[in-house]
Structure 1
């Protein structure tokens, strides 16, 4: 039995790195951060353009996949999750997005006091070092660098003009006064390198003597005595250790890891625990339920000329770009090739955007090419259509009582008719976009889905075969007050003292945007809760 810690944080991901760093600011608090993966310090992680390769590098991930998805042609879908210091913040697309203010107001309307947008905006601002400086909507001087995307001079203005021609609004700031509309996104990069929570929060904090980071250590369960979490059991270096926490254990292992650890500890639906040969300790039916994900499909168009990012992938140009980036972080590989992003409503009666549209002058299968030796895939546009508020719900269950066994994951993507109907609208919206000038002149044909697919049934068939996710899982240990609630409004596990969950698993509903920024916000708020600090004064949008 190892003693000597006040708080143990499990999982050095988007939330865990932030929480451990913030807690260690109190010199009287002894903090242990435990992570199953190893170091994130490698070029494939730090180079922004290489994010897709980082996400698919086996050594950096858990290797999860879903069960056969019954509404998506029974396909097993990949589930990329970072098993590395920084977690998914070390392998994701680095986009900074909070979602709509009404997303958080919806949490508060469910009885979660302290989680309205007015309540959480100060926490978003606390973490930020925004490129535009401090304002009513943004912070300056925080650890997290938020960088403006630099659009190209040819593709971006033509896409923007097309959006306006179709009657869509433009916005100056997705995370400001006007969330809805089209603009370029912001990214968490710092001087041309990935600004993960490992790089921006944890690494600077590791100089403090009261913070210990234990990596390559798999947490097998939380130790519970007399209804209280008193520590964790860890497998590391071929040995099993028990480490105690004098005050609290906080799970930040993500939407799959946090419920799995709870269930391995005997906390969860009793029938599912018994089926996995786990002795139930506390019957909590909501653990692992309510899994929400942003379903997504990709569209591809052939470009009409040599003006997309594919030209930068010619070997000699890419080699020069990499050398330039290595020297000073500048150049094409220090950013991401995005043409335009939109948050839009696609039917009457919606109170908030239901679609996130991301248009890039590059396809995922584009690669470095050499004239005469390795041909180019060609100049292409890719479009991601992301369903922001899915009605379909999935689950996470333990496969067995073995902590090393991968959890069983089921999204049930497209289960709800409303979700299927949404993707029919999205396919037709994207077609209308690229049939409208000046975007129409930048493409010659649709590659996927082909224009020949016109009926609802044909589009449904394409979507079933193509749908994946935006890799934004949430809500498997949701806050709430009903019978399926796992956490209270202070992130405490119901029925167990000294145990909290502070990551995307805690969200009652998925926000309408990328989930890294909300995960960081949750960690910032959790730090105040654990340290007993009063919450900052709410900041209402009308006062901003």
Structure 2
């Protein structure tokens, strides 16, 4: 017998978990969440620095790869994505960045009516509880955002000294009234444990009788009655199952999978679907398009004083850190690997931020080579200075590789396709060069590890970026939101253009990538989307 629910949410990631809680809160609506991965109960997920263990772990990570790109030296980029409850928010590096006001005003200007800064700021404030180092709380939202300024490594003081020396601003809070400048990153943790949307939103929702979670559920397609979405077919434990939605089906599978599920269901570029043996329900060429992502690069340096390497590389240091964490829920294991950074303008004449920087008091290897499958600190003191251009203009695509929900995606980022993006890379490299050649940081540098930024001209900066940069894991835009069906996939209420009973609610609907990490705006989007859904009932 076919089961029926008011709402079916496909994907228990950062957005899906928020939606499940918000849509079920009244008790009037039955909610089913289908998640292809597992329950996400690995201890490395709860541990903030466990990111180093989950980065290559196929049990909680889909471990995708992009197609080789000539603009990046013919390399095939590694694309980790969360596999399990919490999605990529369960395996990310925890930097909590709302985005800048102009990011959302740009959303609204592009046709996403109602998504300007004034509207989304109120959603953030409702969603968050800000926690000071002394435990004082501001706000009453489910999502705890921790100020960890009392726990960062002392070597980070050199980064702030360098920023002051070269005339860059400082910020007390990148999510506050003055977000621009060198800052200590805030992270979504609670009591020293990862406070992903799975913990903050889905866990309490699952205590309700009207919420059902099915893990290991690989969705095959969405079924339609004419142009209305009515059912979901999925595979679970070797069986094929169908469930029906009385009100709406909500696609929250993320920027990589949401467009592919639409394509599997017959909504996408018609000729491409036909070539895969899929009968088109609707020709929607923008499904899978408009892919945006942040590309970043790290510069590695041996240090002249102790860093986190000295604490976390030795076995005894690991034991001490583990004991401290077990007893106090504090210390390096309770933090992000990205401790400091911020929003910056690469030159004073710019009218908006164009770069995000990272300063990490640790060096490590993140390339799987068959023997090293985790991020492992180096056995000598070191630090990282890195950057990513904030608002890239290149656009790529994510599509089906085959008519098979289990097939790996076809990811074509189209990186560095515009002259503007290439110029921003050079500007970001030059900004980091100003910092690393300051008196404050030169005294911390013993030597460069690999390419030495201090010796690069513009051409060398760009060439090095082509050969060493990588995704910063912020793909968005593949089911773009907008008012015009000719240029977008969903409307400002996140309803799919041309069909009924189906919305897409995740980072795939971003009209433009925000200027920094995308997990916070993804949760914000779902929080507001739930209000839009409920207001129409």
2:6 match: 6
Decide whether the 8 Å contact of 1:366 with 1:376 is kept in 2: no
Alpha-carbon distance in structure 2 between the residues aligned to 1:149 and 1:192? 10
Cα deviations by residue, 1:90-124 (Å, 9 ceiling, x for unpaired): 10011110111010011111232210010111111
Q: 1:398 aligns with which of 394, 397, 400?
A: 400
Alpha-carbon distance in structure 2 between the residues aligned to 1:259 and 1:196? 24
Instruction: Provide TM-score, normalisation by structure 2.
Output: 0.94
Q: 1:427 aligns with which of 414, 417, 429?
A: 429
Gaps of 5+ in 2: 368-375
How many aligned positions are there?
Answer: 524
Decide whether the 8 Å contact of 2:108 with 2:116 is kept in 1: yes
Matched residue SS, 1:347: coil
Alpha-carbon distance in structure 2 between the residues aligned to 1:152 and 1:309? 14
Distance change >3 Å, CA 41–CA 375, structure 1 → 2: closer
Q: 1:464 aligns with which of 466, 470, 474?
A: 466
Matched residue SS, 1:463: helix
Alpha-carbon distance in structure 1 between the residues aligned to 2:513 and 2:334? 30
Matched residue SS, 2:71: coil
Matched residue SS, 2:104: helix
Alpha-carbon distance in structure 1 between the residues aligned to 2:307 and 2:378? 14
Gaps of 5+ in 1: 368-373, 535-544
Alpha-carbon distance in structure 2 between the residues aligned to 1:179 and 1:414? 27
Matched residue SS, 1:15: helix
Instruction: Measure how far apart 1:304 and its partner are.
Output: 1.1
1:63 match: 63
Instruction: Measure how far apart 1:139 and its partner are.
Output: 6.0
Decide whether the 8 Å contact of 1:126 with 1:139 is kept in 2: no
Bigger Cα displacement from structure 2, 431-440 vs 185-194: 431-440
Instruction: Measure how far apart 1:70 and its partner are.
Output: 2.4
Distance change >3 Å, CA 447–CA 153, structure 1 → 2: closer
Matched residue SS, 2:173: coil
1:163 match: 163
Instruction: Measure how far apart 1:321 and its partner are.
Output: 1.9
Alpha-carbon distance in structure 1 between the residues aligned to 2:393 and 2:332? 38
Alpha-carbon distance in structure 2 between the residues aligned to 1:366 and 1:525? 36
- Report the aligned-residue RMSD: 2.0
Instruction: Measure how far apart 1:451 and its partner are.
Output: 4.7
Decide whether the 8 Å contact of 1:310 with 1:366 is kept in 2: no
1:140 match: 139
1:409 match: 411
Cα deviations by residue, 1:363-414 (Å, 9 ceiling, x for unpaired): 13299xxxxxx99531111122111100111101111111111110011111
1:91-110 → structure 2 map (5 Å cutoff): 91-110=91-110
State whether structure 2 residue 246 is matched by structure 1 residue 246. Answer: yes
Decide whether the 8 Å contact of 1:502 with 1:523 is kept in 2: yes
State whether structure 2 residue 27 is matched by structure 1 residue 27. Answer: yes
Matched residue SS, 1:59: coil
Instruction: Provide TM-score, normalisation by structure 1.
Output: 0.93
Decide whether the 8 Å contact of 2:104 with 2:117 is kept in 1: yes
1:35-434 → structure 2 map (5 Å cutoff): 35-132=35-132, 140-150=139-149, 151-152=151-152, 154-347=154-347, 349-365=349-365, 376-434=378-436
1:539 match: none
Instruction: Measure how far apart 1:289 and its partner are.
Output: 0.2
Cα deviations by residue, 1:455-483 (Å, 9 ceiling, x for unpaired): 33332221111110110000000011331
